[in-house]
């Protein structure tokens, strides 16, 4: 590790940045063990407490982890749920509207599904079949149905085999879920949801991008029509609660 002079405060953030850059540049790869606190402190000519604080920040940001019962810090890939949570929290605090979310989901889901139609694996199709069976069995349970809807679209995103597309949808989907649940409490849209999912699945199974895209757009537009029928305000800020 190069000897880097640190002159600006706070020291722990400067140390954090050095280590972060090495991780993001793959100089420190996933699975590598970070040098010991004292070794880093000696190398950077700083107090060990500053190194400890920098490592704590790396751990908080999901770039390193401690194995159960261990003391050493291991480089890891950030947890997707934590990334999603940060995006979701930002969107909630920005008070984005349901309409804005609908526009984003409509664009993203149609493109993701079109890509997935040419790439989705038999293993994922089997998971979608099980999801559809569970959806049919839970048509009277709105809470379960909301989670199954979320999972169905997550599987489509996974089927795209594109990690950028998967991550781009994840944070938005968590914010969209309360709006979907709110609609389900107001209107009986459950059978329509299942019917749309069946058509999307068949298009994916047959590797038919046109059918998939058409039904994803119909499915998403159904959400807006449902909001209008239920008398819900699509231009209102999205709420963390689905009540």
Q: What is the mean pLDDT of each run of 10 residues along the chain (243 residues)?
A: 57 93 93 93 92 93 86 88 82 92 95 97 98 96 92 97 91 87 87 96 98 97 92 89 57
Residue 48's pLDDT is 93
Residue 1's pLDDT is 52
CATH for the 11-75 domain, from 3.30.470.10, 1.10.3720.10, 3.40.50.360, 1.10.10.10:
1.10.10.10
pTM: 0.78
Residue 173's pLDDT is 87
Whole-Å CA distances, 115 to 147, 151, 199: 23, 18, 16
CATH for the 80-230 domain, from 3.30.565.10, 1.20.1250.20, 1.20.120.1200, 1.20.120.530:
1.20.120.530
User: 74-81 long-range contacts, Cβ below 8 Å, gap at least 24?
Assistant: 74/31, 74/32, 74/33, 74/34, 75/23, 75/28, 75/29, 75/30, 75/31, 75/32, 75/33, 75/34, 76/30, 76/31, 77/30, 80/167, 80/170
Residue 81's pLDDT is 76
Measured in whole angstroms, how far is the alpha carbon of residue 61 from the centre of its chain? 16
CATH 1.10.10.10 intervals, the chain:
11-75
Residue 128's pLDDT is 98
Residue 238's pLDDT is 87
CATH 1.20.120.530 intervals, the chain:
80-230
């Amino acid at each position: 590790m190069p000897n880097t002079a640190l002159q600006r405060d706070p020291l722990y953030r400067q140390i954090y940045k050095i280590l972060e850059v090495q991780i993001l540049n793959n100089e420190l790869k996933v699975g590598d063990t970070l040098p010991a606190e004292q070794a880093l402190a000696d190398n950077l000519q700083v107090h060990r407490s500053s190194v400890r604080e920098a490592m704590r920040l790396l751990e908080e940001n999901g770039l390193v982890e401690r194995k159960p019962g261990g003391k050493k810090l291991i480089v890891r890939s950030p947890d997707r749920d934590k990334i999603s949570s940060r995006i979701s929290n930002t969107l909630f605090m920005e008070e984005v509207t349901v309409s804005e979310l609908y526009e984003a989901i409509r664009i993203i889901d149609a493109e993701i599904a079109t890509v997935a139609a040419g790439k989705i694996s038999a293993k994922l199709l089997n998971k979608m079949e099980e999801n559809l069976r569970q959806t049919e069995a839970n048509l009277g349970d709105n809470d379960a149905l909301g989670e199954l809807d979320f999972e169905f679209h997550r599987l489509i995103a996974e089927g795209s085999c594109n990690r950028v597309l998967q991550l781009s949808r994840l944070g938005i989907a968590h914010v969209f879920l309360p709006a979907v649940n709110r609609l389900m409490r107001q209107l009986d849209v459950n059978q329509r949801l299942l019917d749309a999912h069946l058509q999307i699945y068949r298009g994916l199974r047959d590797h038919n991008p046109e059918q998939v895209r058409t039904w994803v757009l119909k499915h998403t537009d159904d959400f807006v029509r449902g909001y209008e029928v239920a008398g819900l305000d699509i231009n209102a800020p999205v709420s963390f609660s689905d009540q």
